[in-house]
């Protein structure tokens, strides 16, 4: 095995900044999944085991694998890497920064040869960096590979990423006890939801079919646009040209208006459509870069979230060549709508949010409102708006949930934080 490869001398001073790159656990795993997809993997398995100081996380794929030279280059900070038009990678940092943001030791093993189980493996170890003040990629003998890495790669080509000493994940210097165990268990559940949302187009049968699992549980796609619901309504897409510092491209917006609660196929389907962050926070834009979701929900400061427009969701697709125009961050989880199209997009939104409000309010073509379902409760309560003459009498019979919805509707933007705090206190009583 080759001797250690020195990359950056005196690197111990860089550890803190490299570990604070803005990743949370689910984002870090998603960044590694990007690498697996770039390697044409069709199966990606994430496993997490709680065992105190010996807890570990493993991400294994059946992609094309890497030979020793390619693996050393992939693990090197500042590596020179070119990405294709549809590649999910961006900065060439994900494998290292995503991993070291969560763990103190990273081991990567890969098999690239179909006919022979030729396996190469290297590691980053922060204890070694602190001890030697040298930023080095360390070779790992096959007999020294942790867990089942060597055995898994005997079955075929692929790459396995293995994290040890999970100080950032478990939040304890010595992670023992039920609290740490529950923390890891919750993170497993959150990761399933996150991967199902971010990679839903890859998990879909309508696209390139990929299978993912977390601790043996299959990751299921979460489609924010509910296209399997018969009454979900797609609307005419629109493309906007962007020219940023000489780089030209198009941004395509695909609007969807989701059904009224009573028009979903089931109450379970309605609850699932709320998404990881809940109905109000999941309304708005869903940014896709090369079919991978980069940001979910929100209106990019073009408007405020509104209970009455929560059924409006819009896919925003852009090519990786427009990364600089969208100011995508290292973790590939935050973007900014290009300034030159903001006003046009805002005008495009106006009729869509109006239509979303009409669906929410169940407004008929003649202007009469049928009644609305209060989204604050899973079962819903029907609110019939009376004429102006008896509105005050009707208000006296409103439930707390109905009052909450009404207060949110009439509150000015500057008043909403106060209204939300009051409503939370009422709900807690």
pLDDT (tens digit per residue) in 78-98: 554 554 555 445 434 578 888
* 195 shares its domain with 237: no
CA atoms within 13 A on the CB side of 275: 25
Asked if the model's pLDDT at residue 421 lies above 90, the reply is no
For residue 241, being part of any structural domain is answered with yes
> What percent of the chain stands above pLDDT 90?
56
Average pLDDT over residues 385-399: 43
Indicate the length of the chain as a whole number. 429
Are 28 and 71 within one domain? yes
- Whether 306 maps to a domain, the answer reads yes
β-sheet bridge partners, residue 254? 315
Look at residue 374 and tell me if it is in a domain.
no
Is 227 domain-assigned? no
Stretch 235-256: mean pLDDT, rounded? 96
Same domain, 165 and 17: yes
Rounded to whole angstroms, how far apart are CA atoms 332 and 32? 12
Q: How far apart are CA 226 and CA 376, in angstroms?
A: 20
CA separation for the pair 393, 309 (Å, rounded): 27
**Domain match, 50 and 163 both:** yes
Q: Which of 218, 250, 268 is the last residue of a domain?
A: 218
Per DSSP, the three-state class of 391 is helix
Tell me, yes or no, whether 184 and 266 share the same domain: no
Q: Which helix (H) or strand (E) holds 317?
A: strand 312-318
Which of 153, 188, 218 is the last residue before a domain boundary?
218
- Both 135 and 237 in one domain: the answer is no
The pLDDT, as a whole number, for residue 170 is 80
Neighbours of 240 (CB within 10 A): 19
Is 70 exceeded by the pLDDT of residue 403?
no
- Report which of residues 8 and 266 the model is more confident about: 266
For every residue of 173-238, DSSP letters joined together read SS--SHHHHHHHHHHHHHHHHHHHHHTHHHHSTTSS--EEEETTEEP----TT-TTSTT-EE---E
**Is residue 247 located within the same domain as residue 334?**
yes
By CB atoms closer than 10 A (0-12, 13-18, 19+), residue 426 is exposed
Q: Which is more confidently placed, 363 or 387?
A: 363
pLDDT in tens, 154-179: 889 999 999 999 887 887 666 777 88
Q: Which of 154, 129, 127, 125 is nearest to 140 (CA)?
A: 125
| Residue 411 reports pLDDT greater than 70 | no
Contact 374, 423 (CB under 8 A): no
Per-position b or e across 117-143, b if 16+ CB within 10 A of its CB: ebbbbbbbbbebbeeeeebbbbbbeee
Q: Answer whether residue 370 is part of any domain.
A: no
Residue 372 falls inside a structural domain? no
Contact 31, 23 (CB under 8 A): yes
pLDDT of residue 371: 38
Q: What is the mean pLDDT of the chain?
A: 82
Same domain, 213 and 237: no
Q: How many CA atoms lie within 13 A of 383 on its CB side?
A: 25
The span from the CA of 207 to the CA of 400, in Å, is 44
Residue 108 has pLDDT above 90, yes or no: yes
- Tell me the CATH number at 52: 3.30.565.10
Residue 312 forms beta bridges with which residues? 257
pLDDT band at 232; cut points 50, 70, 90 = very high
Number of domains observed in the structure of the chain: 3
Tokens of 419: 């209204």
Same-domain check for residues 166 and 305: no
Shared domain for 200 and 240, answered yes or no, is no
Q: Distance between terminal CA atoms of the chain? A: 66
Does 390 or 141 have the greater pLDDT score? 141
Interatomic CA distance for residues 37 and 333, integer angstroms: 17
Both 326 and 400 in a single domain? no
- Spatial CB neighbours of 142, under 8 Å, sequence gap ≥ 6: 119, 121, 150
Residue 1 has pLDDT above 60, yes or no: no
pLDDT value at 49 more than 90: yes
Q: Which domain holds residue 412?
A: 392-428
pLDDT at position 220: 94
- Residue 304: φ, ψ to 5°: -90, 150
Alpha helices in 46-177 (DSSP H): 68-75, 99-100, 126-132, 149-153, 167-170
Q: What is residue 51's DSSP assignment? A: B
Residue 382 lies in a domain: no
pLDDT value for 115 = 84
Lowest mean pLDDT across 107-116, 229-238, 416-425:
416-425
| Predicted confidence band of residue 5 (pLDDT cuts 50, 70, 90) | low
Q: How far is CA 123 from CA 91, 104, 221, 354, in A?
A: 20, 11, 33, 54
Region of residue 73 (phi > 0: left; psi between -120 and 50: alpha; otherwise: beta)? alpha
DSSP structural state of residue 40: T
Q: What is the mean pLDDT of residues 173-188?
A: 83
What is the C-alpha separation between 295 and 353, in angstroms, rounded? 20
More confident call, 123 vs 17: 123
What's 269's domain CATH number?
Answer: 3.30.230
In a domain, 379, yes or no: no
Max CA separation in the chain (angstroms): 87
Say if residue 290 is in the same domain as residue 208.
Answer: no
How far apart are the C-alpha atoms of 184 and 73, rounded to whole Å? 32
Contact yes or no for 104/126 (Cβ under 8 A): yes
């Amino acid at each position: 095995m080759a001797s250690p490869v020195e990359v950056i001398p005196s690197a111990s001073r860089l550890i803190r900044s490299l570990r604070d790159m803005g990743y949370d656990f689910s984002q870090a795993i998603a960044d590694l999944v990007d690498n697996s997809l770039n390697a044409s993997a069709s199966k990606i398995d994430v496993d997490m085991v709680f065992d105190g100081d010996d807890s570990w996380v493993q991400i294994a794929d059946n992609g094309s694998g890497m030979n020793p030279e390619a693996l050393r280059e992939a693990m090197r900070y500042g590596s020179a890497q070119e990405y294709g038009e549809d590649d999910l990678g961006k900065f060439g940092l994900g494998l290292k920064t995503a991993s070291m943001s969560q763990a103190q030791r990273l081991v990567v093993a890969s098999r690239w040869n179909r006919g022979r189980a030729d396996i190469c493996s290297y590691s980053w170890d922060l204890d070694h960096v602190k001890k030697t003040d040298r930023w080095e990629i360390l070779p790992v003998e096959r007999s020294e590979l942790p867990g089942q890495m060597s055995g898994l790669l005997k079955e075929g080509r692929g790459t396995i990423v293995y994290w040890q000493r999970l100080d950032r994940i478990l939040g304890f210097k010595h992670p023992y006890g039920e609290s740490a165990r529950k923390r890891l268990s919750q993170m497993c559940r959150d990761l399933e939801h996150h991967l199902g949302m971010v990679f839903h187009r890859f998990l879909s049968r309508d696209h390139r079919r990929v299978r993912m699992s977390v601790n043996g549980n299959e990751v299921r796609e979460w489609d924010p646009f509910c296209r399997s619901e018969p009454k979900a309504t797609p609307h005419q897409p629109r493309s906007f040209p962007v020219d940023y510092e000489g780089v030209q491209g198009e941004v395509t917006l695909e609007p969807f208006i989701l059904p009224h609660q009573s028009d979903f196929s089931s109450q379970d389907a309605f609850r699932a459509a709320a998404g990881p962050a809940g109905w109000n926070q999941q309304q708005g834009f869903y940014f896709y870069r090369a079919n991978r979701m980069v940001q979910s929900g929100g209106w990019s400061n073009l408007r405020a979230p509104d209970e009455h427009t929560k059924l409006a969701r819009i896919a925003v697709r852009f090519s990786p060549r427009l990364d600089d125009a969208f100011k995508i961050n290292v973790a590939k989880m935050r973007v900014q709508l290009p300034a030159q199209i903001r006003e046009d997009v805002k005008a495009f939104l106006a009729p869509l949010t109006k239509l979303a409000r009409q669906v929410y309010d169940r407004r008929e073509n003649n202007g009469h409102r049928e009644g609305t379902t209060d989204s604050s409760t899973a079962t819903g309560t029907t609110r019939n708006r009376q004429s102006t003459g008896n509105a005050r009498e009707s208000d006296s019979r409103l439930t707390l949930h109905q009052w909450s919805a009404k207060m949110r509707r009439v509150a000015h933007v500057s008043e909403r934080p106060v209204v939300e705090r009051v409503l939370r206190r009422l709900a807690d009583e």
